[in-house]
Chain A
Amino acid sequence: MSNATPSRMPITRKQATKLIRKLPVNRSVGNSVVRRGGSIGRIVKTLLTEPTVPNGVKVLAKESKVGANYDTDWARSYPARAARVLLVEGLVRPVIDILATPTVYGDDRLTDIEGPVVFAANHHSHIDTPLMLSVIPEPWRHHLFIGAAADYFFGNQITSTLSALVIGAIPIERTKVTRNSADQAAVLLDDGWSMLIFPEGGRSPDGWGQQFRGGAAYLSLRCNVPVVPVHLEGTGKVLRKGKNVPRLHPTSVTFGKPIMPNEGEDSRHLAIRIEEAVAALADESATDWWQARRRAAAGETPSLHGPEAGSWRRSWSLDDRKRTRKGKRNWPEV
């Protein structure tokens, strides 16, 4: 018989834990056996788990802090603005230059404007916002906020924070002009900030434009600021709705003449004027300024909405809008 110390009974950590849990007392011994990581995980889980509600107690409705209620004031503090300038100039613009190589037309039309404006652009793609941030001239570019869909860009804390910081977004309800969204935008416009808004309310599903909603017009009337119509071309080719991977494609941005609301004009009428101006810019972009002016004068500017037809025919007719602006011409021989 050997004098050796009897060997311990072989048991795994899992078996030990199970065994200890079955014991009536002294759970703390078992805890020492459980992995430390599990303990932290449990604490975190406990912290994140909402407490259960006792039966018979009526729970008060909680006010959401995201979506249209998200407070973006912090995004206009000096540190946040400095960070945004760095992000836009150091990251967004170089990426857009490679991805979308924008050509800008009509920025000379902004020469005479002083103070805040509402930039109202057609909307094809998620690339539209960073593209606009890259091409809107100074002094508006870094003193700009963006009306972004509350349900999409402000869905949770993380997307809300990123939207507010990187693109200077404020939440806008797509379905209605709510008091909160409008008040927030109006206060900022009155405070000298300019706004970028896509009045269609969402990206184009098929490459054609959608009816302009009244948000831009309402704010222009309320704050008495001009609306600059903007036409974006080619961004749908970079990243159209439904795609996640962008591809390289040249784009063009055409700024139009600032539109001031007329005396006694309502927002619906002004929204129509803004849409007509963007349609004229689309025509100018597809042909040339003179042809576009002549068609506009004759009331024959092609609509942004495309033909009333089936989806394939609408898609087919998109090709007719291809840019036909003529190339460089040599001087005439004499």
Chain B
Amino acid sequence: MPRPGFVLDVDRSTPPILFHHGEGFRLERLPAGRSRVIYPSEPIEALKNPDAAIRDALVNPIGDSEPLTALLKPGMKLTIAFDDISLPLPPMKRPDIRQRVIEAVLDLAAAAGVDDVMLIAALALHRRMTEAELRHAVGDRVYDAFAPDGRLINHDAEDPDNLLYIGSTEQGEEVEINKRAADSDLIIYVNINLVSMDGGWKSTATGLASYRSLRHHHNVRTMQHSKSFMDQHKSELHSANWRMGKVLRDSGIKVFQIETTMNNNVFGTEGPMSVLQKREWEWSLKDRVTMAGMKTALDLMPSRTKRSIFQGWQAPHAMTSVQAGEVEAVHKLTTENVYKQHLVQVEGQTDILTMGLPYISPYNVNSILNPILVACLGLGYFFNLYRGKPPVREGGVVIMSHPTPWEFHPVHHPSYIDFFEQVLSVTTDPLRIEAEFEKSFAEDEWYRHLYRTSYAYHGVHPFYMWYWCSHALQHVGEVIIVGGDVRAVRRLGFKPASTLQDALEMASDVVGRDATITHLHNPPILMADVS
């Protein structure tokens, strides 16, 4: 029986706490008597027979939907869209959940005599997936059967010939999605719900959309009104997507949503990485030796080597639930299943929130976590992993631990380089950035070309990463990065500190000397349910 997550009050006997630090680790002693650590729950039990569960979900849908077997007919036009490289994190061991689901769907489509099938990686403005990444996601069998004929493609949000304007919401938000998907008799969306932000109408309304459509909710105002965007009932991001979903539904587009959840078994229960999933006071001699050895070796390695080791890690995540049918009914159940793994009850807020940032975020799989993505991972994702209210009080301090190297992947993140040099050197104010700079990056022909033909994120993507931080930037009084590249941290508008003790000392200028501290022991992922 997996143990639930809990909050540890730090006392003098608490051992040093593990902080992820990019492709490395720090062991930090938190001040006794005024600190607490939020631990995630242990990986919940996986489905015993995932393939059988998928088949069962397809023929027994939930909400107002017929079984998939009844929806598939000979001569129909079928589009299967699936989540891109940003999910799950880290990439999972083969077979990927998407492969299992897509094979099950195609089995039924074959039995129904469906000929016209197209598979689309719903990547919105993310970079295109490489052949190896697609093979990993959908499996070799599906890739070999569909890709050679151009029936397995990456969505292109800048292809005017393959986008279809569907209509506008009551608030004037334009809805434009992939034309092939819109023209299909049925869209089957295959989702992996890593966190509660994923899934629902966001899958189609965002994953298959164009810049014209995305800009209506990927903006500063929406982010500042999403408290948090992980809590769909208080997320303006979700509200906008749901409004767009209504436009899609009213236009006659039929979506059969398949959502899956997974446990947070990120580092496994065996092997050297398993120590990262254990609670520090339960580290055995072997674990302590492993940690010391790993830490020493990583400190000596060049960053390129460390990166390739960590990016090569495939997590033994396992599927915990699968539900299929009508989008909203499916997503409601999915969210409950996600919460079963992630939610940890936390009482009240503290003055300081600390977090150790790992090597990976949704936007640097097989890539580099550049300074903008460091900010987004900490202030965008980790900060927003709450329900109710943030674990840090308004005007408090966020302390993040990451090397924050002044490094960018030139193929994946070309517009990030220019954003860092040309925009953040002028201002870090999200509203001013949006007003003054977004349009020129979003409509830049060179970035557009790289997005469509290379493996680059869209020109506007670094802006969205910065907007992702805007709720946190509005809420907290100070952001400090421990162990980061001083110049890069300053360019982000944050304060650099050499050690956690220095950072706490600096924080005392903002929140006082006896400030209370909360540490998010993440990853594996947790979500603080703050009362």
Answer whether A and B are interacting partners.
yes
* Residues of chain B lying within 8 A (CB to CB) of residue A290: 106, 110, 117, 142, 145-146
A106-B141, A288-B141, A293-B110 are known; give 12 further A-B pairs, CB within 8 A. Answer: A289-B103, A289-B145, A293-B107, A294-B110, A294-B113, A297-B112, A297-B113, A298-B113, A326-B149, A329-B150, A332-B153, A334-B452
10 A-B interface contacts by CB (under 8 A): A108-B95, A108-B139, A288-B145, A289-B103, A290-B106, A297-B112, A328-B131, A329-B148, A332-B153, A334-B156
- The answer to whether B144 and A332 have CB atoms under 8 Å apart is no
1/0 contact string of B84-108 vs chain A (CB within 8 Å): 0000000000110001000100110
Chain B residue, CB-CB nearest to A334: B452
A308 within 8 A of B: no
A-B complex: 10 closest residue pairs judged by Cβ atoms: A290-B145, A289-B141, A326-B148, A288-B145, A293-B110, A297-B111, A108-B95, A297-B110, A294-B110, A329-B148
State which of B94, B147, B150, B156 has its C-beta within 8 Å of the C-beta of A108: B94
Q: Quote the shortest CB–CB distance from A253 to chain B (angstroms).
A: 13
| A242 adjacent to chain B (CB < 8 Å) | no
A105–B140 CA distance with the chains assembled, in angstroms: 8
Interface string of A28-72 (1 = CB under 8 A from B): 000000000000000000000000000000000000000000000
Chain A residues near B150: list those with CB within 8 A: 329, 332
Closest to A327 in B: B148
- The number of inter-chain residue pairs (CB within 8 angstroms) is 60
Contact partners of B156 in chain A: CB under 8 A: 334
* B103 to chain A: closest residue by CB: A289
The one of B50, B103, B110, B148 that contacts A296, using a Cβ cutoff of 8 Å: B110
Using Cβ atoms and an 8 Å threshold, which residues of chain B touch A180? Answer: none
B51 at the A/B interface (Cβ < 8 Å)? yes
Which residues of B sit under 8 angstroms from A112, Cβ to Cβ? 49-51
Q: Contacts A293-B107, A326-B148 hold; do A111 and B95 have CB atoms under 8 A apart?
A: yes
B145 CB contacts on chain A under 8 angstroms: 288-291
What distance in Å separates the Cβ of A135 from its nearest Cβ neighbour in chain B?
15
Q: Are A289 and B144 in contact, with the CB atoms below 8 A?
A: yes
A333 to B452, CA, bound (A): 9
Q: In the complex, what's the smallest C-beta–C-beta distance from A333 to chain B, in angstroms? A: 8
Complex Cα gap A95–B107 (Å): 38
Closest-CB distance, A132 to chain B (whole angstroms): 20
Q: Is the interface of B mostly helix, strand, loop or mixed?
A: helix
Report whether B148 and A105 are in contact in the complex, using a CB–CB cutoff of 8 Å.
no
A325 located at the interface, meaning its Cβ lies under 8 Å from any Cβ of chain B in the complex: yes
Q: What bracket does the count of chain A residues touching chain B fall in?
A: 20 to 34
Closest chain B CB from A104 CB (angstroms): 10
CA distance A296 to B153 in the complex (A): 26
The minimal Cβ–Cβ distance linking B122 to chain A, given in whole angstroms, is 17
- How many whole Å from B138's CB to the nearest CB in chain A? 11
Asked if B251 is at the interface (CB within 8 A of a chain A CB), the reply is no
1/0 contact string of A214-251 vs chain B (CB within 8 Å) = 00000000000000000000000000000000000000
Report if A173 contacts B (CB, 8 A): no
- Say yes or no for B159: interface residue by CB 8 A criterion: yes
* A66 CA to B289 CA, complexed, in Å: 54
Number of residues on chain B facing chain A (CB within 8 A)? 33
List A contacts of B452 (CB < 8 A).
334
B235 to chain A, nearest CB (A): 34
Please report A residues at the B interface, Cβ cutoff 8 Å. 105-106, 108-109, 111-112, 284, 288-291, 293-294, 296-298, 325-329, 331-334
- The chain A residue sitting closest to B150, CB to CB, is A332
Is B453 interfacial (CB 8 A cutoff)? yes
A289: which B residues are within 8 A, CB to CB? 103, 141-142, 144-145
Residues of A within 8 A of B153 (CB): 332
Q: How far is the CA of A290 from the CA of B116 in the complex (A)?
A: 12
A106 to B111, CA, bound (A): 21
- A296: chain B residues at CB < 8 Å are 110
In the complex, per-residue mask of B163-199: 1 if CB is within 8 Å of any chain A CB, else 0: 0000000000000000000000000000000000000
Give the CA-CA distance A288 to B141 in the complex, in Å. 7
A291 / chain B contacts, CB cutoff of 8 Å: 145
User: What are the residues of chain B within 8 A of A106 when measuring CB–CB?
Assistant: 141
Task: Write out the residue numbers on chain B whose beta carbons fall within 8 Å of the beta carbon of A332.
Answer: 150, 153
Q: A258 → chain B, closest Cβ, in Å?
A: 10
Task: Kindly list chain A residues whose C-beta atoms are within 8 Å of the C-beta of B140.
Answer: 105
A325 to B145, CA, bound (A): 8
Instruction: Return the chain A residue nearest B153 by Cβ.
Output: A332
A329 CA to B134 CA, complexed, in Å: 13
Would you call A108 and B144 a contact (CB within 8 A)?
no
**Interface contact B99-A288, CB-CB below 8 Å:** no
Shortest C-beta distance, B15 to chain A (Å), equals 36
Q: Which residues of A contact B148 (CB under 8 A)?
A: 326-327, 329
State in angstroms the CA–CA spacing of A111 and B147 once bound together: 24
Minimum CB–CB distance from A255 to chain B (whole Å) comes to 11
- Chain B, residue nearest A328 (CB): B131
Whether A325 pairs with B144 at a CB distance below 8 angstroms is yes
Which residues of A have CB within 8 Å of B453? 331, 333-334
CB-defined contacts of A284 to chain B, threshold 8 Å: 141
With the chains together, A334 CA to B128 CA distance in Å? 13
Which residues on A sit within 8 Å (CB–CB) of B107?
293, 297
Complex Cα distance, B233 from A187, in Å, reads 59
CB-CB < 8 A to A298: which residues of B?
Answer: 113
Residue of A nearest to B99 (CB): A108
Q: Interface code B115-159, partner A: CB below 8 Å = 1, 0 otherwise?
A: 101000000000010010000000111101111111001001001
Q: What A residues does B131 contact at CB under 8 A?
A: 328
- A109 CA to B106 CA, complexed, in Å: 16
CB 8 Å contact bits of B287-312 with A (1 = contact, 0 = none): 00000000000000000000000000
Highest count of chain B CB atoms <10 Å: which of A290, A291, A296: A290
Would A288 and B106 count as touching, CB distance under 8 A? no
From residue 308 to 366 of chain B, which have CB atoms closer than 8 A to chain A? Answer: none
User: In whole Å, how far is B73's beta carbon from the nearest beta carbon of chain A?
Assistant: 14
Given the complex of chains A and B, what is the CA–CA distance between A108 and B141 in angstroms? 10
Residues of B within 8 A of A111 (CB): 94-95
User: Cα distance A296–B110 when bound, in Å?
Assistant: 8
CB closest chain-A residue, reference B142: A289
Bound CA span A288–B146, Å: 9
Closest to A330 in B: B131
Alpha-carbon distance between A298 and B115 when the two chains are bound, in angstroms: 12
Inter-chain CA distance A105–B107, complex, in Å, is 18
Find chain B residues with CB under 8 A from A108 CB: 94-95, 99, 139
- B106 with A293: CB separation less than 8 A: yes
Cα(A56)–Cα(B456), bound, Å: 96
